């Protein structure tokens, strides 16, 4: 046994903190050398080598072993970080500025667009459940050259509530008893989280479920060991979900974050997916059409869809009014997220892609920019898009031995400018260097017939 093989034999015996089962691929070996390893969990940059065996990181080494005979990738001058995670998407595809134009991708096309863009996992928070659970299960069984799919399946809402307007099958609940039965039957499909909509104080557009029903969903989900993510629209409603023990809130209500709510989130450790991108990106693109020239955006989004963003004459007045309100509330939203970051709350980066102004894969990079504008450091933004969602989803995401070898290799440091996450040199997925141009070709191929918004 060579010294390096011996070292690995020892390292691989160490408990990895996650499933150590051999993968079908376990003979595959890859060594990344001379890299700067950017670890958002420890906030450290280390020069060294990363050894990958099968689909997992096997060891982080100070120096590359001289006797390694597998594939070596010299990453001198490059920056290596864990693959990114988008914690809030609707993976049907991309919408034009008013939903009139669409780029239909379905979840598998989206998962390829994500992978191309260095987003190696995502959490879908509402898609047709039969389709998305089957695709997710197939991916977990057989693999799929695409980002890892995590899914809530349906959104739990009240009859005629938000979520029912898209014509996508979902689950409505009318009472606490009904909520318990619904969660029990949904749990049989092993959703990665349970998503619900609760906004009892903003009911202009849609009715909301009541507080006892919301609490029953959270309790029932916890009995099944499932985390809950709630769509919120006001801080008062948010406060009630936090008191009920919800695991994560998503979106940012358009008002200053009350101190009492911030303290409640701190005390409970509630995670927050603010989705600043969905609140800001549509007006940003319409005001700055030059941003449509972005290389990464053009690589993942259809050119005819992008053209729709140049012709603002088609944007209806209702959308314009919505955008004006969004712009007015932007400082409050950024302040709220900034104070949550200062208080050490677990923020998760999520975009709400599937909505106008957002593009699967690309927009997570925009969310990172928005998070830093809200006051997060580059380190905090990177953690919000890598190790934090990993912990939330109980997924092995990071640079530790045993973590899934999902890696993003950048040409420039994301610590000096968060926009450098777009300067992608390589994407590594499950230990394999991704052929990004092949993945790009597959983004729009074989779109299955599934109901979409």
Q: What share of the chain is helix, strand, coil (3-state, %, to 5)?
A: 40, 20, 40
Which is nearer to Zn ion, 247 or 352 (by Cβ)? 352
Which is nearer to Zn ion, 36 or 251 (by Cβ)? 251
Q: Give the dihedral sign, CA 204/209/215/217.
A: negative
Of the ranges 68-76, 180-188, 189-197, 345-353, which one interacts with Zn ion (CB under 5 A)?
Answer: 345-353
Dihedral angle over CA of 153, 158, 160, 161, nearest 10: -70
Which is nearer to Zn ion, 86 or 352 (by Cβ)? 352
Which is nearer to Zn ion, 195 or 406 (by Cβ)? 195
Of the ranges 54-62, 208-216, 285-293, 346-354, which one interacts with Zn ion (CB under 5 A)?
Answer: 346-354
Give the containing element (helix H, strand E) for 326.
helix 317-342
Contact flags string 296-335 toward Zn ion, x per CB under 5 A: ----------------------------------------
> Minimum distance between the CB of residue 241 and Zn ion, rounded to whole angstroms?
16
Q: Any contact of residue 352 with Zn ion (CB under 5 A)?
A: yes
β 44-53/56-61 pair status: antiparallel
Q: Any contact of residue 367 with Zn ion (CB under 5 A)?
A: no
User: What's the start-to-end Cα distance of the chain, in Å?
Assistant: 58
Of the ranges 92-100, 195-203, 255-263, 349-357, which one interacts with Zn ion (CB under 5 A)?
Answer: 349-357
At which residue do the structure tokens 């693109």 appear? 285
Task: Measure Cα distances from 83 to 89, 140, 203, 386 in Å.
Answer: 16, 18, 38, 7
> Minimum distance between the CB of residue 63 and Zn ion, rounded to whole angstroms?
46
Of the ranges 6-14, 112-120, 352-360, 390-398, which one interacts with Zn ion (CB under 5 A)?
Answer: 352-360
Closest CA to 83 of 391, 430, 452: 430
> Minimum distance between the CB of residue 253 and Zn ion, rounded to whole angstroms?
15
Residue 168 tokens read as 């996508």
How many residues form the binding site for Zn ion (CB under 5 A)?
Answer: 1
Which is nearer to Zn ion, 352 or 378 (by Cβ)? 352
Q: Give the dihedral sign, CA 33/35/41/43.
A: positive
Which is nearer to Zn ion, 91 or 213 (by Cβ)? 91
> Minimum distance between the CB of residue 90 and Zn ion, rounded to whole angstroms?
6
At which residue do the structure tokens 């769509």 appear? 231
> Minimum distance between the CB of residue 195 and Zn ion, rounded to whole angstroms?
8
235/254 Cα distance (integer angstroms): 9
> Minimum distance between the CB of residue 340 and Zn ion, rounded to whole angstroms?
19
Which is nearer to Zn ion, 352 or 367 (by Cβ)? 352
17/430 Cα distance (integer angstroms): 17
**Residue whose C-beta lies closest to Zn ion:** 352
398/80 Cα distance (integer angstroms): 11
Please list every residue from 105 through 164 that binds Zn ion, using CB under 5 A.
none
Which is nearer to Zn ion, 49 or 147 (by Cβ)? 147
Contacts with Zn ion, residue ranges (CB under 5 A): 352
């Amino acid at each position: 046994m060579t010294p390096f093989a011996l070292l690995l034999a020892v390292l691989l015996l160490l408990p990895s903190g996650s499933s150590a089962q051999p993968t079908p691929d376990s003979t595959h070996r890859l060594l990344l050398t001379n890299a700067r390893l950017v670890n958002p969990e420890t906030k450290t940059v280390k020069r060294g080598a990363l050894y990958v065996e099968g689909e997992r990181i096997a060891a982080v080494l100070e120096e590359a072993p001289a006797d390694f005979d597998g594939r070596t990738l010299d990453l001198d001058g490059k920056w290596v970080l864990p693959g990114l995670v988008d914690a809030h998407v609707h993976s049907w595809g991309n919408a034009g500025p008013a939903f009139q134009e669409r780029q239909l991708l379905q979840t598998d096309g989206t998962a390829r667009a994500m992978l191309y863009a260095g987003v190696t996992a995502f959490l879908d928070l509402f898609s047709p459940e039969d389709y998305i659970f089957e695709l997710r299960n197939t991916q977990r069984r057989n693999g799929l050259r695409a980002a890892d799919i995590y899914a809530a399946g349906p959104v739990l809402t009240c009859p005629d509530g938000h979520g029912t307007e898209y014509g996508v099958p979902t689950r409505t609940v009318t009472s606490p008893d009904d909520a318990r039965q619904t969660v029990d039957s949904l749990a049989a499909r092993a959703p990665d989280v349970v998503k619900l909509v609760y906004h009892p104080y903003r009911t202009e557009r849609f009715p909301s479920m009541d507080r006892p029903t919301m609490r029953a969903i959270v309790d029932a989900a916890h009995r099944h060991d499932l985390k809950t993510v709630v769509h919120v629209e006001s801080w008062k409603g948010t406060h009630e979900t936090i008191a009920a023990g919800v695991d994560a809130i998503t979106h940012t209500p358009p008002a200053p974050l009350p101190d009492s709510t911030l303290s409640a989130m701190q005390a409970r450790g509630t995670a927050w997916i603010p989705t600043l991108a969905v609140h800001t990106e549509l007006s940003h693109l319409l005001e700055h059409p030059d941003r449509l020239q972005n290389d990464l955006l053009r690589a993942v989004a259809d050119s005819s869809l992008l053209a729709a963003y140049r012709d603002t004459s088609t944007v209806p007045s209702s959308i314009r009014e919505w955008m004006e309100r969004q712009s007015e509330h932007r400082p409050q939203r950024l302040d709220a997220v900034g104070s949550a970051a200062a208080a050490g709350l677990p923020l998760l980066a999520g975009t709400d892609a599937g909505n106008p102004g957002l593009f699967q894969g690309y927009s997570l990079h925009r969310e990172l920019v928005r998070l830093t504008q809200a006051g997060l450091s580059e380190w905090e933004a990177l953690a919000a898009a890598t190790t934090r969602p990993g912990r939330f989803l109980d997924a092995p995401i990071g640079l530790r031995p045993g973590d899934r070898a999902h890696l993003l290799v950048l040409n420039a440091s994301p610590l000096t400018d968060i926009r450098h996450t777009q300067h992608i040199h390589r994407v590594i997925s499950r230990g394999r260097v991704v052929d990004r141009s092949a993945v790009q070709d597959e983004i729009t191929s074989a779109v299955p017939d599934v109901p979409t918004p």
